[in-house]
Amino acid sequence: MRVLMLGSKEYPFGSSAGSDPISSGGIEACVQNLSECLASQGTRVTIITRRFPGQKKREKHGNLEIARVGWLGGFHLRNPSFNFCAFAAALGGGYDAVHAHGPIASLFGWLAARLKGKKIIATPHGIAWAQPQYGFLVSRLLRAAEKFAYSRADAVVFLSEAERREFKNKMGFLPRNSFVIPSGIPLEKYGDGTGRARTRAKLGLGKDFTFVYVGRLAKVKGVDYLLEACRGLGAQVLIAGDGPEMQALKKSAPKNVEFLGNRRGIPGILSAADAFILPSLSEGLPVALLEALATGLPCIVTDIGLPVEDGKNALVVPPKNAGALRRAMLKIAASAELRKKLSTGALKLSKNYSAEKCAERHARVYAGLAPQAK
C-alpha cells in the first residue's frame, strides 16, 4: 500500500528553525507520528512538505519518503502557496491513496486524486472557517473549501466523536463515509521524569509550582484568557510555542509568565512542569494534550468536547473564562491528593492513544478504500 500525505508544512517537526515566523502545530506532529508508524508497519508513505535552508529536496528512510517543495511567506500566502506546490508534485508521484490534512490540502488532494484516479482521505483537524484569527472574507473562502473537499472525499477521519458532532453543527452535514480515529503519539517518549531537576534548574524554576501550555500562539488557542488568569497567581507559567499572537501576548503577560518560544525537547519541558493547561476555544484532538496525559500531568482543559472526564483525568472549565481557569489552577496547586488522582487518570487514558494502534486503524481505512492496492 502506498499513501501520499499532504498538508504537513514541516518534517521533521521543528526543522524550520525560525525560517518561518509562524510555527507549525498539531497537524505536523500528527502527520509525523502517523507516517513513521505506518512506515514501520509496512505501509509505503510519502510526505510532501516545505523545504527549508539546508534540507534535501528528497530523502528516504525505509518505507518513508520525504519530498520537499517551495512556498511563499506570509500569513495568508504560506498555506495556499505550499499546497499548490505540493499539488503539482503530487501529480508526478505513484501512490494508491491520498491522505490530506486540513481544508486547503484536502481541496488540492481531492483534485490530485481525481486526476490520478486514486482515493482521497481527509482529516479536518478542527473547523478552520470558524477560527477567530480569520477575517470575514477568508472565513467564507475556507468554509466553501471545507464544504467542497469534505463532501467529496472518499473518507473523512475525525479525531474524536466531539469533533464529528461539531463538524455537523457548524458545516450542516456529515460526510457520507466518516471514521473516528484519534491522533497517536509514541507513548514511550513521555512520563519517565528523566532530566526533570536539570530542566527546572535550566529554566530557573526553583521550587515554584509550575503550569505549562504547549501549542501555537493563535487566537483560537485562548492563551489571552490564560494570561488573565495568571495575574497575581503564586505560581510560574511556561508558554512553549510561537505564532502570530506572540508579541501581543508578551506585552500583556504578567511577570510570572515565561515565553519559551519553539522548543524541540517538549517531553523534558512537560516532565519539568507540575500541571498542564489547554485554554483553547476550539480543537480537534491536540497532540499537546495527549503528550501531557502520557507524561502523567494533572490537566486543566476547556469544555470543547475533548475526550476527558472532569475530576477523573482532568479539570474541565468553560472556554473564554479566565476566572474559571484561575480557580482550577488554584485548586490543583493546593491539593496534592487531587494532583495524584488526575495524574493516575491521565496515564490510564493515554494508553488509548498509542501511535501504533492509531496507525493500524488508519491502515485498515486505506485498505478498505483501495483493496487492490499493491
Cβ-in-10-Å burial (0-12, 13-18, 19+) of 373 comes to middle
Instruction: For 190-199, write each residue's pLDDT tens digit.
Output: 977 667 888 8
Determine contact, residues 327/5, Cβ cutoff 8 Å.
no
- Crossing angle for the helix pair 336-350 and 287-295, to the nearest 10 degrees: 120
Q: Name the β-bridge partners of 257.
A: 237
Q: Reply yes or no on whether the pLDDT at 374 is more than 70.
A: no
Q: Which of 109, 369, 329, 119 is nearest to 229 (CA)?
A: 329
The predicted pLDDT at position 193 comes to 67
Percent of the chain with pLDDT over 70: 98
Q: Which helix (H) or strand (E) holds 261?
A: strand 257-261
Q: How many CA atoms, within 13 angstroms, populate the side-chain half-sphere of residue 134?
A: 14
3-state secondary structure of 329: helix
Class of domain 2-184+354-369: alpha beta
Q: Reply yes or no on whether the pLDDT at 326 is more than 80.
A: yes
- Dihedral angle computed from the Cα positions of residues 293, 295, 300 and 305, in that order, rounded to the nearest 10 degrees: -20
Q: Reply yes or no on whether the pLDDT at 334 is more than 90.
A: yes
DSSP labels for 218-236?
A: SGGG-HHHHHHHHTT-SSE
CATH 3.40.50.2000 for domain 187-353 = yes
Q: 312 Cβ partners below 8 Å, 6+ apart?
A: 341, 342, 345
Q: Reply yes or no on whether the pLDDT at 30 is more than 60.
A: yes
Percent of the chain with pLDDT over 90: 74
Instruction: For 228-254, write each residue's pLDDT tens digit.
Output: 999 999 999 999 998 889 999 999 999
The predicted pLDDT at position 370 comes to 67
Q: 160 Cβ partners below 8 Å, 6+ apart?
A: 180, 182, 284, 285, 305, 306, 307
The predicted pLDDT at position 282 comes to 87
pLDDT band at 135 (very low <50, low <70, confident <90, very high): confident
pTM of the model: 0.83
Q: Reply yes or no on whether the pLDDT at 308 is more than 50.
A: yes
Q: Reply yes or no on whether the pLDDT at 372 is more than 70.
A: no
Q: Which of 64, 63, 81 is nearest to 72 (CA)?
A: 81
DSSP one-letter code for 24: P
| Mean per-residue pLDDT of the chain | 92
Q: Reply yes or no on whether the pLDDT at 184 is more than 60.
A: yes
Mean pLDDT value across residues 209-228: 95
The predicted pLDDT at position 302 comes to 97
Amino acid 366 reads Y
Residue ranges matching CATH 3.40.50.2000 in the chain:
2-184+354-369, 187-353
* Residue 49 φ then ψ, to 5°: -140, 180
Burial 10-41 (b: 16+ CB within 10 A, else e): bbebbbbeeebebbbbbbbbbbbbbbbbbbee
The predicted pLDDT at position 129 comes to 84
pLDDT band at 347 (very low <50, low <70, confident <90, very high): very high
Q: Rounded CA gap, 218 and 216, in Å?
A: 6
Q: Reply yes or no on whether the pLDDT at 176 is more than 60.
A: yes
Determine contact, residues 305/162, Cβ cutoff 8 Å.
yes
Best-predicted range by mean pLDDT among 71-80, 186-195, 262-271, 326-335? 326-335
Q: Name the β-bridge partners of 156.
A: 122, 178
Instruction: For 59-79, write each residue's pLDDT tens digit.
Output: 999 999 999 999 998 877 888
Instruction: For 99-127, write each residue's pLDDT tens digit.
Output: 999 999 999 999 999 999 999 999 999 88
